[in-house]
Chains A and B, each alone.
Chain A
């Protein structure tokens, strides 16, 4: 069941119960008051009629005594005069009945025959008149019965009043109430529907958005601008969707990069393997030919070296990704000298000059990582240089916020459009040249990983045929 259904039904039912209850209470209350008024009226009128009859009777007796006439019969008197008393009041609604002490009817102008048991006649034992309500036919009557003494003769006087009006008023009110109720219910239903739909529209749009996001369209946002709880929920939902979108994009990017890395790696592994297997197979299956033999052997050796270098670089990269090294303050001067010494044979072989200018400094770094960075950068510089070239390794403070390590060569440089790509794994500016020097295209990717671990920066500037300068900025704590 939807929320708006629930709100609608609850409100509707609650209203109906309260409205009906209150209305019936009012009608009932009104009816009781009217009934009481009628009863009071009946009691009063009976008293008035009784006292009128008594005073008239005493007047008639004294008159006949004075006139010296025959004494009056009280029953006769009653029979003759009773009718006129009723006229004093609303005569079509009021009736009188007189009975003598022997319960013989003396006078009765009641419009209907009264049959059956008459409980009202049993009631008056005292002088106080009592009343009773009786339904006769479709009408309801008030019977007020009391004793009436006329010159010693006792009569039972019943005052009968038609009070159907009170009941018909009540049923008329109930009818009216039902008509009003139907109308009110109808209007209430429409009104409630409109109001609730209006108030819950933001929940609906929130639901739609949530479904859209769940389907994978993470850019979906809710446009709810109200300041109520739903508005706040919508804002939070948007914030959540944003976070999810960011995370998903990040994951997709990582997955894509990984995919690309694996593709490149496969290529880099397969190419030397194709050569090694191919040449080995060639030697194995063909007749010995000295020229072919040496060529094949050379290729097998150099491609094997290429695989070896690739595996070392991959190890470096994997180790970098695995653990965050503990950085310590290191004197960088001896480290730089160590690098120089390690590279010396290669430098001499290619007739290259390495020029060091290092400002002594204690740098927060990891010894092995620092050596790895320097070796990789210098390795690139050596590969880019031609015979007789110079390579510079500099270390200096920048603004007391960074310590810079800079490697500069006078080599072939990097074409402008390739500069942004050099940090991508397996990117090679000159594939043939890199491969002929057993390069894997991972050096700068490794450097940039190491720089990331130091929270430093790496900058590269290069001009073709002029040279390349790579600068790494290590932040000073």
Chain B
């Protein structure tokens, strides 16, 4: 399990991030000020840091200065939409930034992207007995390769990456098909049916009433 350190002084937001990351299957720790953060970086040795810029004691930039040599991936959380802050953060070696208020889906996607870039996240996902190789774009069930169309593959990937979270039909359409299909949510329903059948996920992909779908892993 990848370890993520959340450095955020607002308890509410910190807890929110923690809950979202835990649902997505990450191990997390929280730091509420600069010195706590530096301590946890040593003792907890996280794979990635979510770093708020505005911090008591030591601000995010000061922490980044101390991290310079460690080659730890950092995603900046910033409430200010100010361009100067973003540029400064990226110059100082931040791998990405995310502006509050943010959606958890966006946060997870960015974390995954950064982790993959650092080689922490492997290029295959596992769900139950399904193994998905991202590079070869192949889905195996045991030793059997299951044929999926491109959209089916993308849809499966999206559901696994956001497992245990309900996704609205509109959001799925937007993320898998792009904006031009907006409105035709029937497409989503048809593809979900196909995946359920092909991968025998009937018990796992739940329909959320009047909303969308959720992939549950029965933990």
**Are A and B part of the same complex?**
yes
Where the two chains meet, the residues of A that have a C-beta atom closer than 8 Å to any C-beta of B are 263, 266-267, 270-275, 277-279, 281-282, 284-287, 292, 295-296, 299, 302-303, 430-432, 435-436
> Which residues of chain B (162-203) have a CB below 8 Å from chain A?
164-167
Interchain CA distance A36-B16 in the complex, whole Å? 124
Which of chain A's residues have a CB closer than 8 A to the CB of B167? Answer: 285
Closest to A282 in B: B19
Interchain CA distance A285-B20 in the complex, whole Å? 11
Q: Is B79 an interface residue (CB 8 A)?
A: yes
- Check B104–A278 contact: CB distance below 8 A: yes
Given A279-B16, A287-B216, A270 contacting B79 (CB threshold 8 A)? yes
Q: Is B23 an interface residue (CB 8 A)?
A: yes
Which of chain A's residues have a CB closer than 8 A to the CB of B32? Answer: 432
- Check A266–B13 contact: CB distance below 8 A: no
Q: Is B80 an interface residue (CB 8 A)?
A: yes
- Check B54–A275 contact: CB distance below 8 A: no
- Check B104–A432 contact: CB distance below 8 A: no
User: Besides A266-B79, A267-B54, A278-B101, 15 other CB < 8 A contacts?
Assistant: A271-B10, A271-B13, A271-B100, A272-B12, A273-B101, A274-B79, A274-B100, A278-B13, A282-B16, A282-B104, A285-B214, A286-B164, A299-B16, A432-B11, A435-B11
Given A279-B16, A282-B20, A266 contacting B81 (CB threshold 8 A)? yes
What are some 11 contacts across the A-B interface (CB < 8 A)?
A263-B80, A267-B79, A274-B16, A274-B100, A278-B16, A278-B104, A279-B12, A295-B19, A299-B12, A430-B56, A435-B11
Interchain CA distance A303-B12 in the complex, whole Å? 8
Which of chain B's residues have a CB closer than 8 A to the CB of A279? Answer: 12, 16
- Check B20–A270 contact: CB distance below 8 A: no
Shortest beta-carbon distance from A266 to chain B in Å = 7
Closest to B14 in A: A275
- Check A266–B15 contact: CB distance below 8 A: no
How many residues belonging to B are interface residues under a CB distance threshold of 8 Å? 29
Q: How many A-B residue pairs have CB under 8 A?
A: 75
Where the two chains meet, the residues of B that have a C-beta atom closer than 8 Å to any C-beta of A are 9-13, 15-16, 19-20, 23, 32, 54, 56, 79-82, 100-104, 164-167, 211, 214, 216
Interchain CA distance A275-B14 in the complex, whole Å? 9
Which of chain A's residues have a CB closer than 8 A to the CB of B101? Answer: 270, 273-274, 277-278
Which of chain B's residues have a CB closer than 8 A to the CB of A281? Answer: 103-104
Which of chain A's residues have a CB closer than 8 A to the CB of B102? Answer: 274, 278
Shortest beta-carbon distance from A46 to chain B in Å = 111
Pick from A263, A270, A292, A303 the residue with the most CB of B within 10 Å. Answer: A270
Q: Which 4 A-B pairs have the closest CB atoms?
A: A274-B101, A275-B12, A285-B166, A278-B16
Interchain CA distance A296-B102 in the complex, whole Å? 16
Interchain CA distance A431-B11 in the complex, whole Å? 11
Which of chain A's residues have a CB closer than 8 A to the CB of B80? Answer: 263, 266-267
Interchain CA distance A272-B65 in the complex, whole Å? 29
- Check A263–B82 contact: CB distance below 8 A: yes
Shortest beta-carbon distance from A312 to chain B in Å = 20
Interchain CA distance A299-B18 in the complex, whole Å? 14
Interchain CA distance A67-B160 in the complex, whole Å? 175
- Check A271–B79 contact: CB distance below 8 A: yes
- Check B19–A292 contact: CB distance below 8 A: yes
- Check B16–A285 contact: CB distance below 8 A: no
Shortest beta-carbon distance from B32 to chain A in Å = 7
Interchain CA distance A284-B15 in the complex, whole Å? 17
Closest to B165 in A: A285
- Check B79–A275 contact: CB distance below 8 A: no
Q: Pick the contact of A286 from B11, B13, B100, B166 — CB < 8 Å?
A: B166
Shortest beta-carbon distance from A432 to chain B in Å = 6
Which of chain A's residues have a CB closer than 8 A to the CB of B82? Answer: 263
Which of chain B's residues have a CB closer than 8 A to the CB of A274? Answer: 13, 16, 79, 100-102
Given A285-B167, A286-B164, A431 contacting B104 (CB threshold 8 A)? no
Shortest beta-carbon distance from A272 to chain B in Å = 8
Pick from A277, A278, A295 the residue with the most CB of B within 10 Å. Answer: A278
Which of chain A's residues have a CB closer than 8 A to the CB of B104? Answer: 278, 281-282
Shortest beta-carbon distance from A440 to chain B in Å = 14
Interchain CA distance A284-B79 in the complex, whole Å? 24
Interchain CA distance A274-B79 in the complex, whole Å? 9
Which of chain B's residues have a CB closer than 8 A to the CB of A275? Answer: 10, 12-13, 16
Interchain CA distance A282-B166 in the complex, whole Å? 9
Which of chain A's residues have a CB closer than 8 A to the CB of B79? Answer: 266-267, 270-271, 274
Interchain CA distance A281-B13 in the complex, whole Å? 13
- Check A432–B9 contact: CB distance below 8 A: yes
Closest to A303 in B: B12
Shortest beta-carbon distance from B210 to chain A in Å = 12
Interchain CA distance A279-B15 in the complex, whole Å? 9
Interchain CA distance A302-B54 in the complex, whole Å? 21
Interchain CA distance A431-B211 in the complex, whole Å? 38
Given A282-B19, A286-B164, A286-B166, A436 contacting B81 (CB threshold 8 A)? no
- Check B19–A436 contact: CB distance below 8 A: no
Interchain CA distance A299-B14 in the complex, whole Å? 11
Interchain CA distance A119-B206 in the complex, whole Å? 144
Shortest beta-carbon distance from B57 to chain A in Å = 11
- Check B9–A431 contact: CB distance below 8 A: yes
Shortest beta-carbon distance from A366 to chain B in Å = 36
Interchain CA distance A91-B82 in the complex, whole Å? 113
Which of chain B's residues have a CB closer than 8 A to the CB of A271? Answer: 10, 13, 79, 100
Interchain CA distance A273-B101 in the complex, whole Å? 7
Interchain CA distance A431-B82 in the complex, whole Å? 21
Interchain CA distance A274-B20 in the complex, whole Å? 13
Interchain CA distance A273-B99 in the complex, whole Å? 12
Which of chain B's residues have a CB closer than 8 A to the CB of A282? Answer: 16, 19-20, 104
